Amino acid sequence: MFIMTDYTYSLIYNSPSVQRSDGSYIPADDRNVDWQQYQEWLALGNIPTPVDISIYKTNQTNKISSACGESIVSGFFSNALGSLYQYPCDSNTQANITNLSLSGANGSVWCGNSPTNWNFVPHTPTQLKHLQLDMILHIQTNQTKFSELLIQIQDATTPEAVQPINW
């Protein structure tokens, strides 16, 4: 039997290890004396302090924010030219499409009709306006999904409810 002290324990985010109230990190190892003391402490009916749920919420929010950004810049499809083409959607392309559409002039935009066949293709003002609307729809669809997931994260009350919320 180990000499028990007045330690308490806290769970550590995303780890089987625990932190003891004196600041020591205790690895989840049955051969470790400190881990054995922790197991005895649990056997006495004690409950470790849970990880603050805000850590889980922040982590999931960062993950879905990153996934949203990646989804936006991965590009979109438009039939502005009369058949379906893929367009990039990085910030430079977004600015180019928006500026060309607002100018009312003809302009060229990168697009592809296959993953390996990309060209700088001329578009009329009407085609550019159509393209801009498709781009806006693409961005808004992604941002709406992000917003819906963010609400789910904010409403979650346990780490187990937060973790499965993914893009």
Q: Report the 3 state secondary structure along 129-161.
A: HHHHHHHHHHHHHHHHHHHHHHHHHHHCCCHHH
Largest CA distance in the chain: 84
CA 127/CA 112 separation, integer angstroms: 15
- Is the Cβ–Cβ distance between 123 and 81 less than 8 Å? yes
Q: Read off the pTM.
A: 0.77
Q: When comparing pLDDT for 81 and 5, which is higher? A: 81
Residue 2: its pLDDT value, please? 53
> pLDDT (tens digit, 9 = 90+) per residue, 116-152?
899 999 999 999 999 999 999 999 999 999 999 999 9
Nearest-CA neighbor of 150 among 45, 26, 67, 73?
67
Sign of CA dihedral 53, 165, 86, 99: negative
First CA to last CA distance, the chain: 49
> pLDDT (tens digit, 9 = 90+) per residue, 103-112?
999 999 999 9
Type and span of the H or E element at 92: helix 91-103
Residue 155: its pLDDT value, please? 97
Q: Which pLDDT band, with edges at 50, 70 and 90, does 12 fall under?
A: confident
The stretch 58-77 carries a mean pLDDT of: 97
Sheet with strand 85-87: strands edge to edge: 76-78, 85-87, 107-114, 117-123
Distances (CA, A) of 104 to 13, 33, 99, 122: 54, 75, 9, 13
- Is the Cβ–Cβ distance between 165 and 152 less than 8 Å? yes
